[in-house]
Chains A and B, each alone.
Chain A
Amino acid sequence: EADIYQTPRYLVIGTGKKITLECSQTMGHDKMYWYQQDPGMELHLIHYSYGVNSTEKGDLSSESTVSRIRTEHFPLTLESARPSHTSQYLCASSALTGITGELFFGEGSRLTVL
């Protein structure tokens, strides 16, 4: 069982609200990632971080932002949620430097914006 946790698991909010999806891992991994996944579809990388104070945008453009102030914590924030943000958001981490090794995933946060 991976030691990576996401909260909330499910969130239903109205348009225009600010939300933060939390992701924490206790494995001491330097690399962390946020993927967006619509039901039955592929995963798209939206943000990643290689360590504290390092964040980069992924392959899929996203209006969300992330921060990495502590190694174990990688929250994702939407300042003003819209129905188009409805999706599942998956957080992951990995240990190896250089070549990518195994990713450990959280259980996901399913966001519904009304």
Chain B
Amino acid sequence: SQQGEEDPQALSIQEGENATMNCSYKTSINNLQWYRQNSGRGLVHLILIRSNEREKHSGRLRVTLDTSKKSSSLLITASRAADTASYFCATDGTSGSRLTFGEGTQLTVNP
């Protein structure tokens, strides 16, 4: 079974609205990362949050981590059409240095 699972699978919003995506995982982690993937392209790293951190900001991105619930959320504020992409969370587990990716959330921002 997957280490990371995103929710919702798909999200459609209007420009200017906020978008929230959630990620749940099963085992202990050292860190959790969020990536973005435009259609047909490679993934781009957005933000990394360590297991001892609860919240992190980067521009319009806000990530929270709740290790007791084994969950994380990615908030994109004031969304733009250019934010349309798939967003993946990835966890490393404490045993090694390989990332396991979730199924992703397909975000569509309508102009």
Q: Which residues of A contact B (CB under 8 A)?
A: 2, 6, 31, 33, 35, 40-43, 45, 48, 58-59, 88, 90, 92, 94, 96-108, 110
B43 near A42: Cβ-Cβ < 8 Å: no
Which residues of B have CB within 8 Å of A103? 33, 35, 43, 45, 90, 99
What CA separation (Å) do A58 and B96 show in the bound complex? 12
A40 near B31: Cβ-Cβ < 8 Å: no
Q: Knowing A42-B103, A101-B48, A102-B33 touch, does A107 contact B97 (C-beta < 8 A)?
A: no
Q: Can you offer 23 A-B residue contacts whose CB atoms are under 8 A?
A: A31-B97, A33-B98, A41-B103, A42-B101, A42-B102, A42-B104, A43-B101, A45-B99, A58-B98, A59-B100, A92-B43, A98-B97, A99-B92, A100-B31, A100-B99, A103-B43, A103-B90, A105-B42, A105-B43, A108-B40, A108-B41, A108-B42, A110-B40
Most buried by A among B31, B40, B96, B99: B99
A45 near B31: Cβ-Cβ < 8 Å: no
